[in-house]
Every structure is written in C-alpha cells, then in structure tokens.
Amino acid sequence: MTQATYAKDISLYTLEEKFDLQTANESFLEEWSNHLPNLTNFEKLLLKRIVSNYLNLTKRRPMSEEAVKMVILSPLLDLAGFYQPPFDIETEKPIKISAKDDGMIVKGKIDVLVVQDRLWILVIESKRTRFDVMVALPQALACMLANPNAIPETYGLLVSGREFVFVKLTHQNPPTYSVSKSFSIMPPAQDLGTVLQFLKYLGQLLTS
C-alpha cells in the first residue's frame, strides 16, 4: 500500500531510511573559498544597510517568514544577480518523490524560491524556530531530491533571517548531502558579506 506524506512534515531520519540518503564527508565551502569574488564598496554599504534594517526591526518583534524574504533575502538575491538574465526564479514549487521499495511518496507544494532548478531556498520564521535554521534541512533535502532534471548536483540555502546555511546534494546512487557551517548576520561575526560572496560564486556554478 502506498504511504503518502508531505515534505513539510518529513524528517531527516525518514529521508535516510526510505530514500537511502547519506551524509558526505566533504566540506564543499572550503573548495569554494578559493574562488570567491571580491565585493565592491557599494555592495558593502548595501549589506550594512540590510544588517541595520534587520537589527532595527527585530528590536520590536521576531521576524515573520515574509519579513525575512523582504528585508534580507530579496536584497541579497538582487546583489547576487539572480534577478537578471540568464536566471529565472520560481515560487511555490510542487514536488513529488517516491521510495523504490515500500511505495512511500513524499509530495507537497513548498513555499520556496527555486533558481534555475538547481538552487532551492527555504525561509523559516525566526519566532517559530528560535533561530534554529537547521529545522528546515529535511524539507530542503526533500525538495532537492525531487528535482526532475538529470543534473549531478543541486544546492540549497536555509535562511532564518539571523542564520544562513548552505546545502549541497549530489544525485548519485545513493544520494549524498553535505551542510555548511552556520553564517550569522549578528555581530560580532556579521557574515552577510561572506554569504553574498558564496551566492555570487554559486551563480557562476549554476550557469556553467
């Protein structure tokens, strides 16, 4: 009998057990670090503005998912060039994957930004997760596993407003994934510039 579940309710344990998903040992951001583009003074000024906006708004209340998209994510994607050709962005992407052995099907329509069918961006509400961005990892991996295109690798970005985590999924048998460290928008780290550099480099990978 086919068992259906929804991507928003999936667990990492289920993905590993039912879809043979495995953790890779590689640290892909170390390789990327050797190719990061420099940021211009104008870009640095805009990043300071994003941080200032975030700090001001979070003094009043936790940021909703829509506020995170508007205040933080949208300006970042603009600076990374993802609103310009040759990029294309989709939202509310329908997904469906099935386990081969026991007939389990994972489906859903995810409120996610998808760039070139290769970069899946999930935004979560800081008030719901207490800033723990990793709660979005199973949902992101379910989306990435459902990618219909025959491409070797897809990428994810988990965003809570305060934290950013990059994910890499290699489509092989079995599929493997790796997760970056968490980057923070908060002082003293203020990693937003590094996040933008990785996004710009990732843009080069998506069009290569």
* Structural domains of the chain, count: 1
Give the model confidence (pLDDT) of 51-86 as tens digits. 999 999 988 888 888 888 899 999 999 999 999 999
> Of all helices (H) and strands (E), which one includes residue 22?
strand 22-23
Distance CA(60)–CA(40), nearest Å, equals 32
State pTM to two decimals.
Answer: 0.88
Burial grade of 28 (CB within 10 A; 0-12, 13-18, 19 or more): middle
Residue 97 has pLDDT above 80, yes or no: no
pLDDT mean over 136-154: 81
What is the per-residue pLDDT for 1? 45
Beta-carbon contacts of residue 104 (< 8 Å; ≥ 6 apart): 2, 3, 4, 5, 18, 98
Q: Write out the residue range of the structural domain in which residue 52 sits.
A: 3-206
